[in-house]
Structure 1
Amino acid sequence: MAQPTPSGSRSATPGRGRGRGRGRGAAIPLDSVDMQRVQMLRAERLTSEQDRIQSLSLQESHQLLQRCLTRDPSLLFDIMATQDTPAAAPTPIPGHPTWCVCLHCREMPTDIESKCCGQRSNSCISTLPHFDMYILDEGVLRLSRRVWNDIRAVQDAPEPGESNKQFRHAAYRQYVVWQYGFLGPGHRVVIPSCCVCKIREHYPDPHGQYTGFVSSRV
């Protein structure tokens, strides 16, 4: 005779309690059959999309690229950069950094910050309309600051110059997300000098004091 289930204990119904010991919400790895099925579906989708691309007219291809540029500019920048011939070394300009290609950078206080976007002068990232829209627009940055402060449970300090400082830091975060996506805790990247200078010109410090790149921050 089956033993009665103790009061307060879970029923032994099949399927209940699966994943016990893995922790709540833990993912269950796919077995080999499921992996093969997923890979097959991906291959079929890729082949289907390749066929669709081949069937596009020249005008349709241009329209598709325009949509890509609007939705994810950084992806198209990277792809276009691989198609460009290496830019010739720029003619030295008095007072201009020798390591700069786009001709919009300035001398930086450290070697690690002496980084150029690598684009030609007429396509420097800091001069693109998307840069103004995503990185410099005050409304976008205010929303970004509010989300950031809510996550960290802090408020902006009212000291003189603090508002522009918060705008600059929000702009730096916006640039990283725009160009690299989410990096995760502890991962930091150097923003090109041309873009840093454009942000500082838009939201300057009243005393000209800037923190600069910090390799790690808690």
Structure 2
Amino acid sequence: MDNPAVEESSTLENPMPLTQEEKRRLLIKKIWARYPAPENDPAFPNNPTISSTSDGSSTEDTEVTETERIGNTNWCSCERCIKMPTQVESICCREVDAVDACIPEGHQCITQADTFLSQIVHHEHVRIANIAIHLDNIPIVDANNNRRLRKTAYRMFIAWIYGILGKGNRRVIPSCAVNAVRHVFPDPNGSYVGFLYSNDYDASEMAFY
């Protein structure tokens, strides 16, 4: 009569050699056994569902932010800004640390500073600065001269706030300051260039900026 117990013992003591495929499967099984199932993995309990930008904000939020200032002045704190055609120009003096530091105590806008009133929007001072820069006394009534005077006033504003920046370095001027300069040196057609980066200029226009 056969003895199953003896036969089983014999099988365990002399197991059949495993094939390469069986060894591979056994090794994979052992490796998987060392790690938890994906649903039980605590490393990422909540998988992201919205693509994000490098600063952590979602792509959808970024698209809204890029245009949310255009067509309104909700971003203005000094109450003297105007609507600007681009997002980059839609900035208030209270949002720029270097500009905000120059606002006199008890006032809310850079356009109320003595230096701004006596230098940046003072017609005669800007005219003289324009002559010094261009070495050319263009008639004040000339529309093109008003354009030069505006650009000169902007350069004076930048020099006052930031000092010498160096060639190619530009800063956006707050909307309130731009509006004040345009009021003193208006374009007869209401046509204004707006902010441009240094590499946006055409070579023929460089003399004006």
Equivalent of 2:112 in 110, 127, 135: 127
**Can you give the 5+ residue segments of structure 2 that lack an aligned partner in the other structure?**
1-70, 95-99
CA contact (8 A) 2:82 2:175 kept: yes
2:148 aligns with: 166
1:176 equivalent to 2:158? Answer yes
Which amino acid in structure 1 is aligned with residue 174 of structure 2? P
- The secondary structure found in structure 2 opposite 1:123 is coil
Q: Deviations over 1:163-184 (max 9, x none)?
A: 2111111100100000000111
Q: Deviations over 1:138-172 (max 9, x none)?
A: 2211221112113xxx6748884112111111100
**Same amino acid, percent of matched pairs:** 36
Q: Deviations over 1:13-67 (max 9, x none)?
A: xxxxxxxxxxxxxxxxxxxxxxxxxxxxxxxxxxxxxxxxxxxxxxxxxxxxxxx
Structure 1 length normalisation: TM-score? 0.50
CA contact (8 A) 2:140 2:146 kept: no
Stretch of structure 1 that moved more, 129-138 or 180-189: 129-138
Structure 2 length normalisation: TM-score? 0.52
Q: Distance in 2 between matches of 1:185 and 1:204?
A: 27
Which amino acid in structure 2 is aligned with residue 193 of structure 1? S
Q: Distance in 1 between matches of 2:181 and 2:141?
A: 20
CA contact (8 A) 1:156 1:166 kept: no
After superposition, residues 8-47 of structure 1 pair within 5 angstroms as: none
Residues 184 and 158 (structure 1), Cα distance of their counterparts in 2 relative to 1, 3 Å cut: same
**Can you give the 5+ residue segments of structure 1 that lack an aligned partner in the other structure?**
1-94
Q: Report how many aligned residue pairs link the two structures.
A: 121
Which amino acid in structure 2 is aligned with residue 149 of structure 1? H
Q: Distance in 2 between matches of 1:213 and 1:170?
A: 14
Which amino acid in structure 2 is aligned with residue 138 of structure 1? H
Q: Distance in 2 between matches of 1:164 and 1:110?
A: 23
1:138 equivalent to 2:123? Answer yes
1:111 aligns with: 87
The RMSD of aligned alpha carbons is 2.4
Q: Distance in 2 between matches of 1:149 and 1:190?
A: 23
Q: Distance in 1 between matches of 2:91 and 2:173?
A: 7
